[in-house]
Amino acid sequence: MSSRSASAIPARKQWTDEELLALPKDGYKRELLDGEIVMSPGWAEHGRQIMRFSTRFASFVYQRRLGEVFDGQTGFRMRSGDLLCPDVSFVGNSRLQGIDSLDRFFNGAPDLAVEFLSASERRKTIERKIVLYFENGARLVWLANMRREQVSVYHGLTDVQVLTAPQELTGEQLVPDFRIPVADLFASFDYGPRT
C-alpha cells in the first residue's frame, strides 16, 4: 500500500475563460493542457510557413463559402477543460449553424486542426493534442513537420498517412477540391532583389 494518500495528489487547476483571457499579451501562444499553461513561441520561419499556407487555404474556403478558418490565437475548449489553439483550424458551415456569436472560446475541436511542428514542441504534447482533437469532434488533423518536410494526415488516432513531395495534401470530403503540393508547404522564399 502506498504511503501517499489520494488527498496528497494535487488537483488540476481549473482555469476560467476570464483567467485565460487575462494572461499577458506578450507574443507567446498559450494553450491549456492537462491543467497547465503551455507556452510556445515560434521561429520566424514557423510563422512564415503558417501564413503562406493559411492565406491560400482561407482564400479557398471563403471563395466557396465552406465555413470559417481560424488562426493560432483561437481557443477551442475541450470537454476535459483543456484549451487548444491549432496553428490553423477550419469549422464547416454545418457546425456554425445556430451560433449567433463567436465572442467566446469555441466548444469542441475544429473539424480540421492544422499544426506546424516547431523545434521546441515535444512529441508527447503533440500526441496528447491529437487525442484531444479526435475525442472532441475533429474529423481531420494535419501535422506539418518542417524539419522532415512531410505532412502526417490523421483520420483518427490509428489511421495516419504520411505525405512528402511530390504528393499533394487534399481537403478530401471535408474541404472538397482543396489541394496543395506538399512541397509548397515548405518552399523557401527568395529574398533577393527583383529585376
Strands 106-107 and 36-39: unpaired
The full set of domain ranges for the chain reads: 14-21+28-185
Q: Which of 5-9, 17-21, 61-65 has the highest mean pLDDT?
A: 61-65
Contact status, residue 118 vs residue 43, Cβ threshold 8 Å: yes
Q: Please state, rounded to an integer, the average pLDDT across all residues of the chain.
A: 83
CA 162 → CA 11, 84, 111, 150, distances in Å?
38, 23, 20, 7
CA 50 to the chain's CA centroid: 11
Give the separation between CA 140 and CA 57, rounded to whole angstroms: 15
| CATH of the domain spanning 14-21+28-185, picked from 3.40.50.11540, 3.90.1570.10, 3.20.19.10, 3.40.50.720 | 3.90.1570.10
Give the per-residue pLDDT at 12.
60
Arithmetic mean of pLDDT, 134-157:
95
pLDDT in tens, 87-119: 999 999 999 998 877 767 899 999 999 999 877
Tell me what percent of the residues of the chain surpass a pLDDT of 90. Answer: 52
Tell me what percent of the residues of the chain surpass a pLDDT of 70. Answer: 73
Identity of residue 90: F
DSSP state of 172: T
Contact status, residue 81 vs residue 14, Cβ threshold 8 Å: yes
**Predicted confidence (pLDDT) at residue 4 exceeds the cutoff of 60:** no
Give the per-residue pLDDT at 16.
65
pLDDT in tens, 146-190: 889 999 999 999 999 999 999 999 999 999 999 999 999 988 766
Q: What is the pTM of this model?
A: 0.79
